[in-house]
Structures are given as C-alpha cells and as structure tokens.
Homo-oligomer: A and B are copies of this chain.
Amino acid sequence: MAPLRVAIAGLGTVGAAVADIILSRNTLINARCGREILISAVSARDRHRDRGVDLTGIDWFEDAAEMAMQADAEVVLELIGGEEGIAKTVCENAISSGRHVVTANKALLAMHGTALAKAAENASVGLLYEASVAGGIPVIKSLREGFAGNKISSVHGILNGTCNYILTTMRETGREFDDVLTEAQDLGYAEADPSVDVDGIDAAHKLALLASVAFGAEVNFHAVHVEGIQFISADDIAFASELGYRIKLLGIANQTELGVEQRVHPAMVPIDSPLAHVEGVFNAVVVEADAIGTSVLQGKGAGAKPTASAVVSDLIDIARNTVLPTFSVPLSELSQPKTVSLDNRQGPYYLRLMVLDRPGVIADVSAALKEEGVSVEVLLQRGRSEEGSVPVVLKLHETVEANVRRAVEQIAQLDSVVERPCMIRIEEL
C-alpha cells in the first residue's frame, strides 16, 4: 500500500518527538498499519536548529499556512499551539484542501472545535486530537470507541499535570503555593506565565473536549465554570488530610436531567478514591457509564514523548483508514445541551475562615449557616492568638451550592472574619 504522507507544522519538543518516533520506529509502525508513514514536509521557525532528528530530504516550508495547502501530504500535523492565529489557519487550510488534521491543540479546539469539525466533515477528512487531552492515556479513543456502547453519565478527573505537581509537592513538603510554583517554574514543570495552568484554563479546555466526545455535544468552553488553585493554602492541605481527603484540581462534566454540568475547581476527594493516589505530573480520567460502571484511565498528561505517542496513534488510525466523526457523532447528531449552573450542585463543603480569636465568632458563623439551612458536620479550631487570626475549619453536610454561597457572603461580612473565606467542594468520587 502507498505510504501515508505527513506534513508537520511546528518542530518544538512535541514535533521533534513525533518525527523521532516516525523515523526510528519505522518497521514497527509499518507492521502495525500495513503501510509506511512518511514525513514529506515540515515547517518551523528556525530551519537550522538541531532537533536531534535527521530531516534531510524532507520539503521545508517557511510558511506553515502555505505548507498546509501545498505539501505533498494527506495529513497535516498542527503542533504550533495557540487558540488563534497561525495554528488555526494551518488547520483550516489543511481541511479546505482535503487533508486530514491531527492536532495537540486543546485551546484551539476548545474555542473553535465545532466549526473545525464542521469544516472537516464537509471536506470528508478527519480531525484527530488524542494528543490534546492527557497524551499518555487513550481517552478520546476510549470515549469514542471503547465505550461506544454506553450511555456516559460522567467524565471527570485530574487534567493538568502542573497543578497536580504543585498540590502534590505542597502536601509532601508543607510549603505554600507561591514557593512551590517558583520551584516548579525552575524545574520546567510550570510556564513563566503560569496562569493558563494554575487558573484552571488548560484543564477547562480539555474538559470541554471530553464533555463533547463523551456526550456527543457541541464544544462549549464558555459553559465551563473555572476556578484555579492559587488560593489553596498549606493549611487547607493539612486540614484535608486530617479530615481524610486529598485536594486535587478536578475537571468534572456530568450529564444531568437538566443538561450538562461542566466545572473545573479544586476539590477534596476521599483518601481511598483512585484519584487521591494520582500524584505529581500524572493525569487520570474517570468515566461513569451505564454498562461499564466506573473505569479509570491514568497516565502522563504532558511531556513531549507521551504527547507524541498520542499524535502517532492518530496517524496510525488514519493510515488504517479509521477516521471517525470528530465528537463521536456526525454534526447533524451533535446536541447543544443546556448549561447547568453550579448553583444546583449538591454535596458536602469545606470552609476555612481566618478569624480573630475572640468570644462570639463561632456563634456568628453558626447563625449565618443556620439561616441558609446549612448544617455543620465537623468544626476544627486550633491554636490561640491574642493579636493575629486563627483558622476555623468547617465540614458542611451535603447541601445546595447556592445556599453555601449565600452563607459565605454573610460570613465574609463579619468583623471578626479577617480574610475572604476559603470554600472547597468535597467530591465523594
């Protein structure tokens, strides 16, 4: 069979790792897909940088957008990144000229996934993106194929390795967020501008894609409620352990009777939950569905090699002629589900208040909670301080989020409460 010809746009660490796998695992890949995968063209910013792979004889394009239209290739790999600009143009050009697209770009797909899927379907080409969510885990394939006989009710998990590394290190060392973030930046686990990771945006991009493919719905990034991990303190992590929990940044998408709920926020998970033991840069995705019950997929979320592995698996699918609808079903079948407000969430909550150590504080806090019908399961108060503040921690019984929020607003107004209360959802997953 004729080789599958591939053009690579972007030769950063992922692009170079993809080229390396294609070139060095040639025999293995040939055996597995019954044909050769051949890099016919590449485009990157600097032609002369040593990337550790031999690109001799491969067409070089200065302009990736031009390559996407003119390369002698059936597939274009978009490995440039960014939710707009050249990455988007490369995908659009490849599709409009009848080429399949494989991308690792979750930001682009979270923003323009439905439009690009529509273009791909019209052009009868594939838009594949296994590498955009948790490269070391075949989660898109599992949702779209492995669990295809199931009605999926929930997909949730740990989707950002940087945040998980920071939270793991905070727990293991007792250090504060800022301190650990700086170290993570020095080690290359966090970007110089860490906000896309620590604010939860990256996890939200991925969650929006998982929700689409799991529920056969249009991508709706703007429906994701997003909170980051920057307000989590070493105290919270220690109190969580004491209460039998771990704090993780979770992405959660639930199919409910009211519509689809999508949210990214720090949460406490029970210490015996499978997610509690996913540490460091690892990701994990939990799928709940009617036939399988619960399945958990765990692996490396980022890094050049796991991401490249996912890109190559998409290429092998194309080489084997497995090109499926982008979000599990054709666009005509894609739903536009209602967005469920987080106000409807029901569950237990953790609250940490920093209060002045004087009489009557607990009475005032309790009154605010009582007024909203919220009841307290555990109250922890530690230490004494005649001048400064002390933490008071409450575990609230299962209740509705709107009520907790109103109670927190009242508590925040109390004179003896000196900081904005920290509220963390408890997910008994």
Q: CB within 8 Å of B: which residues of A? A: 17, 21, 25, 28-29, 31-34, 130, 135-138, 141-142, 144-151, 216, 272, 274, 277, 289-300, 303, 305-306, 308-313, 315-317, 320-322, 324-325, 328-330, 333
Tally of this chain's copies = 2
Bound state CA distance, A379 and B370, in angstroms?
A: 57
The smallest C-beta distance from A119 to any residue of chain B, in angstroms, reads 19
Tell me whether A145 and B317 are in contact in the complex, defined as CB-CB below 8 angstroms, given that A277-B274, A296-B299 are known contacts.
yes
- Of the candidates A146, A298, A306, the one having the most CB atoms from chain B within 10 angstroms of its own CB is A146
Residues of chain B lying within 8 A (CB to CB) of residue A296: 296-299
Q: Is the CB of A306 within 8 A of B292?
A: yes
- From DSSP, what is the main secondary structure of chain A's interface residues? mixed
Query: Which of A137, A296, A324, A329 has the largest number of chain B CB atoms within 10 A?
Result: A296
Contact at B292–A299, with CB atoms within 8 Å?
yes
Question: Which interface residue of A130, A145, A300, A306 has the most chain B CB atoms within 10 A?
Answer: A145
Beyond A32-B328, A291-B306, A295-B297, 7 extra complex contacts between A and B, CB < 8 Å: A21-B291, A28-B151, A32-B325, A32-B329, A136-B295, A146-B313, A147-B313
Q: What is the bound-complex CA distance between A169 and B317, given in angstroms? A: 42
Asked if residues A149 and B277 are in contact (CB atoms below 8 Å), the reply is no
Most central of A17, A150, A216, A305 by chain B CB within 10 Å:
A150
Q: Can you list 7 A-B contacts (CB < 8 A)?
A: A29-B149, A135-B292, A148-B312, A149-B312, A292-B299, A294-B300, A296-B296
Cα A328 to Cα B28 in complex, Å, equals 10
Closest to A300 in B: B293
A296 to B138, CA, bound (A): 11
Chain B: which residue is nearest A334 at the CB level? B31
The answer to whether A300 touches B292, judged by C-beta atoms less than 8 angstroms apart, is: yes
Contact call B291/A295, Cβ cutoff below 8 A: no
Option from B28, B138, B293, B305 in Cβ contact (under 8 Å) with A293? B305
Contact among B33, B144, B298 with A298 in the assembled complex (CB-CB below 8 Å): B298
The residue that A292 contacts in the complex, of B146, B309, B321, with Cβ under 8 A, is: B309
Note all chain B residues with C-beta closer than 8 A to A29: 148-149
Complex: A117 Cα to B32 Cα, angstroms: 15
Q: Which residue of B lies closest to A272 (CB)?
A: B277
A377 to chain B minimum Cβ distance, whole angstroms, is: 25
Q: How far is the CB of A210 from chain B (nearest CB, A)?
A: 15
- Residue of A149, A290, A312, A330 with most partner-chain B CB within 10 A: A149
Contact in complex: B330, A324 (CB < 8 Å): no
Structural contact, A295 and B299, CB atoms closer than 8 A:
yes
Bound-complex Cα distance A130 to B295 (A)? 15
Residue ID in chain B nearest A319 by CB atoms: B148
- Which chain B positions have C-beta within 8 A of A149? 21, 25, 29, 308-309, 311-313, 315-316
Contact A32–B148 (Cβ < 8 Å): yes
Q: A292-B135, A296-B299, A328-B32 are in contact. Are A145 and B141 (CB under 8 A)?
A: yes
